[in-house]
Each structure stands twice: as structure tokens, then as C-alpha cells.
């Protein structure tokens, strides 16, 4: 399934997760309001709220009534752990198959990591 085939709220959720993993937002940092986030990404505010709600349900985001939404303590570590597990389970096997098909030596990849 391509990223465009995924429901919008899941794509928005990915954007939030990537922003946390990239360090744009750290544990304890305020997230943009639902309306601001929706406007920034051209989405319906209800759809953005659904993405935020999923994070709240999973404990990655906490809400302070009248103040806003914040990245929960420990969210970055948990998101990184979950992303690693997902990568190793879902993406890595495809990468390995492609490397074998193309006869790519892993050492060649290591040379390109910092270039």
C-alpha cells in the first residue's frame, strides 16, 4: 500500500511521529493546535483531531485542558522502539530481497552511509 492509499489521519499521524523522531518536538514540548496542524497540512480539523486522538490513546500525547497538547514523557523512546521494530519486521526483508536481487554487497552500503 502506497502512502497515498493510506487514510489521511494515518498520514497525519506519520507526520507527527516523524516530527517527534526527528527532534522537531521533544518530550514535554507543545504540539501545534489541531486547527493549526490541519491548516498546515491542508486537512480537515476533524481528521487532524483523529490523528492526535490516536496518539493520546496510545499515551504519546498528553492534553492539558485550556493549554494544549504536549509530547508525553518517554514518547520519543517508545516511538523510536516501535519504528525500529516495524522497520525490521516490514521494510528490512524487502531491502534484503532487493540487495540479493541486485547483488549489492552490504559493505558497499556502509561506505555510502556518511557520504
| pLDDT tops 90 at residue 110 | no
- Is the pLDDT at 103 greater than 90? The verdict is yes
Is pLDDT above 90 for 86?
Answer: yes
pLDDT in tens, 42-82: 999 999 999 999 999 999 999 999 999 999 999 999 999 99
* E strands, 11-100, in order: 61-64, 68-71
Q: What pLDDT was estimated at residue 32?
A: 96
> Would you list the domain boundaries of the chain?
3-73, 76-112
pLDDT at residue 8 greater than cutoff 80: yes
Burial of 16 (0-12, 13-18, 19+ CB in 10 A): buried
Q: What is the CATH number of domain 3-73?
A: 1.10.10.10
Amino acid at each position: 500500500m502506497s502512502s497515498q492509499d493510506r487514510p489521511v489521519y494515518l498520514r497525519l499521524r506519520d507526520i507527527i511521529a516523524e516530527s517527534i523522531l526527528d527532534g522537531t518536538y521533544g518530550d514535554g514540548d507543545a504540539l501545534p493546535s489541531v486547527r493549526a496542524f490541519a491548516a498546515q497540512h491542508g486537512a480537515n480539523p476533524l481528521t487532524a483531531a483523529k490523528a492526535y486522538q490516536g496518539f493520546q490513546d496510545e499515551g504519546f500525547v498528553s492534553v492539558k485542558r485550556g493549554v494544549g497538547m504536549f509530547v508525553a514523557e518517554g514518547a520519543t523512546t517508545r516511538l523510536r522502539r516501535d519504528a525500529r521494530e516495524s522497520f525490521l519486521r516490514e521494510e528490512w526483508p524487502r531491502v534484503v530481497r532487493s540487495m540479493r536481487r541486485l547483488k549489492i554487497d552490504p559493505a558497499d552500503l556502509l561506505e555510502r552511509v556518511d557520504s
